[in-house]
Structure 1
Amino acid sequence: MVSVRSSKYLQRGRSRLALTGALTGLLLALSTATARSDSAPDIPPRGSAYMGMGVLAHDGRGPYDSATTRGSQTEGVDVSSHQRDVDWPGLWGDGATWAYAKATEGSSYTNPYFNQQYDGPYSVGMVRGAYHFATPDSADGATQADYFLAHGGGWSADGRTLPGALDIEWNPYGDACYGKSKSGMVGWIRDFLNRYKSRTGRDAVIYTATSWWTQCTGDYAGFGGNPLWIARYASTAGTLPSGWSSYTMWQYTSSGQTVGDHDRFNGSLDRLKTFAAD
């Protein structure tokens, strides 16, 4: 027969074992959650994407010479809400003569700093333009073109306003190609470009990187009539996507003066103004 005293010891032992088991399970759950958190990529909030966001992550950064081709090309910058209010007189003094500001993303986001970033360069003498960050998984191309045009993405033939730019690159929120097949992506881009041209009379600029274009459109060659803005952080623009024999603009670094992203227009300032007015 088990004594009352022995029974108490047994109950205490069982309680300790149960508590130890519970603590062990809790610690295991916490360590598993931490491991998952450490291994999972950080997904930024919608609307926070900007031009070139995926270039460093996927293409990296090579050496570049800021003086290379400067004699025949024209310096520019691109900005988004990450730069907030920009020192446009300072950039003008550093030699930047043109700028693009992010206006919209998808079909619901507008840049809260857009007015300062779009009107500011114009006021100091720069040529300016607006760009749209495409999210083909959130709405169709025509819808996003309409949204862009309704929130700053228009064009006027004043010689100081550049045609709107479509920023089409890696998806910062998920699948690199936004869950689309190559033909599906080509169709989405075509819908955006067609709607933009039908409403403005201008061909939108296409901003992209060759590796993304190859991966997500199958290196489609049918948009060569649109101006190309190539993204590559290196000493040269490198191999261009099929359909283009030359680029109109080149985003060559994300670590330039005053704001990170610096670009070159492939021509003189007079040619840039002609491009803006055409």
Structure 2
Amino acid sequence: MSHHNIVKDFGLVAAAGVWGVIHKATQGRAYRDPDYATRRKAATNAGLLWGAYHFATGDAVELQIENFIKTAQPDERTLMVLDFEDNRPSNMSPQQAVEFLRQLEARLGRRGAIYSGNRLKESLAALGPQDRAYVTSHRLWLCQYGPTPRLPTGFENWWLWQYTGDGIGPLPHNVPGIVAGKAASTSTPSTARSTSSPRAGRERGALPAAERCTDRIVLRHDLSPAGAGEVRSFRRRRGRRRVLGAEAAARLRRRGAARLGEARNDRTLIVSVIGCGLLGAAFGALTASGPIMMIVAAAFYGLIGLLLGAPISFVINMTRHVGRR
């Protein structure tokens, strides 16, 4: 989860059987989730386990690690996760991901976990054998919608599996005590042992739709040892890219359409006035005899054409509007 979630009561979350929460701590070299610290205290007071995730960018790894460690303030029980997913404005390379995991291990004295889906599947081949072996030795939080998990090459199993979301997949689709933020949508369950998930990266490329995740923040919880889970998902709006909710997007489209219509109306008016003026001038020049009369007739009929251009433009625009409706 992240600051886009609205948390009403972590006590209700724990009472529902949720074991823990993984909260966004940082993104890139400088961004810090404003709700991380206060929610950590509230969640742990409610008896929930706590984890932190870092949303990867192409910034210098040392700066990202410093931001993550300083903000997450991990103790020996804090789960630390690298959120390695597609981020068009600033993708973390697979080599940077390896360096991030190595530096994280060096700072913590233990290994973190990695959250990914198509990004990891499509980039592992770019690594050498040693680096691939190092990455695949980590706990994998797999992001893949669909009934069957498809692991990145080299992983023997997933640790957490985000297999449903965005209205795709079985119920339940909510978590007691947590409600949607401004950009909220649908949700997802999990069969893994622990907690909640970071923003699900958009799964693209050659993978089938069932194996894609989207620009959502997904909260995932295990409600029982048997693996019944509840999840809440949220659109991502943080960083350099903003994903609009359906209502806001529709509003923006209507505004754009209105502005486009105004521009078309103005263009029609200009073309009609000038066109009618030129036609009137040409008519006057062709029907008059003698140079002086040609000039006078061209000016007279050209003026009439200019005056007729505005109402003609109005009729054209009204006809276009009625036709669209």
Q: 1:207 to 1:145 in 2, by over 3 A?
A: same
Partner of 1:168: 84
Which protein has the larger Cα radius of gyration, Structure 1 or Structure 2? 2
Corresponding position: 1:83 with 2:5: yes
**Which residue identity lines up with residue 257 of structure 1 in the other structure?**
N
Contact 1:219–1:241 (CA<8 Å) still a contact in 2?
A: no
**Matches of 2:8 and 2:137, distance apart in 1:** 33
Match of 2:150 among 239, 245, 270: 239
Q: Say how many residue pairs are matched.
A: 176
**Matches of 2:26 and 2:42, distance apart in 1:** 18
Under a length normalisation based on structure 2, what TM-score does the superposition of the two structures give?
0.49
Corresponding position: 1:224 with 2:136: yes
Structure 2: give runs of 5+ residues left out of the alignment: 167-172, 179-186, 195-221, 226-325
**Matches of 1:212 and 1:113, distance apart in 2:** 27
**Which residue identity lines up with residue 228 of structure 1 in the other structure?**
L
Contact 1:213–1:219 (CA<8 Å) still a contact in 2?
A: no
**Which residue identity lines up with residue 97 of structure 2 in the other structure?**
I
Contact 1:141–1:190 (CA<8 Å) still a contact in 2?
A: no
Q: Which deviations, in whole Å up to 9, do the C-alpha atoms of 1:13-40 show, x marking residues without a partner?
A: xxxxxxxxxxxxxxxxxxxxxxxxxxxx
SS at 2:42's partner residue? helix
- 1:198 offset after TM fit, Å? 0.7
Matched ranges for 1:12-51 at <5 A? none
Structure 1: give runs of 5+ residues left out of the alignment: 1-78, 271-278
What is the aligned-residue identity percentage?
24
Partner of 2:160: 249
**Matches of 1:130 and 1:197, distance apart in 2:** 15
Matched ranges for 1:100-249 at <5 A? 100-136=22-58, 139-156=59-76, 161-171=77-87, 173-174=88-89, 178=91, 185-209=93-117, 211-218=118-125, 221-222=132-133, 223-236=135-148, 238-249=149-160
SS at 2:75's partner residue? coil
SS at 1:121's partner residue? helix
Contact 2:24–2:33 (CA<8 Å) still a contact in 1?
A: yes
**Matches of 1:163 and 1:205, distance apart in 2:** 8
Give RMSD over aligned pairs: 2.5
**Which residue identity lines up with residue 226 of structure 1 in the other structure?**
H
Q: 1:93 to 1:146 in 2, by over 3 A?
A: same
**Which residue identity lines up with residue 212 of structure 1 in the other structure?**
R
- 1:165 offset after TM fit, Å? 0.2
Q: Which deviations, in whole Å up to 9, do the C-alpha atoms of 1:202-260 show, x marking residues without a partner?
A: 11100001x22222343753212111111123334x11112210111122334631354
SS at 1:117's partner residue? helix
Under a length normalisation based on structure 1, what TM-score does the superposition of the two structures give?
0.57
Q: 1:107 to 1:196 in 2, by over 3 A?
A: same
Contact 1:153–1:164 (CA<8 Å) still a contact in 2?
A: no
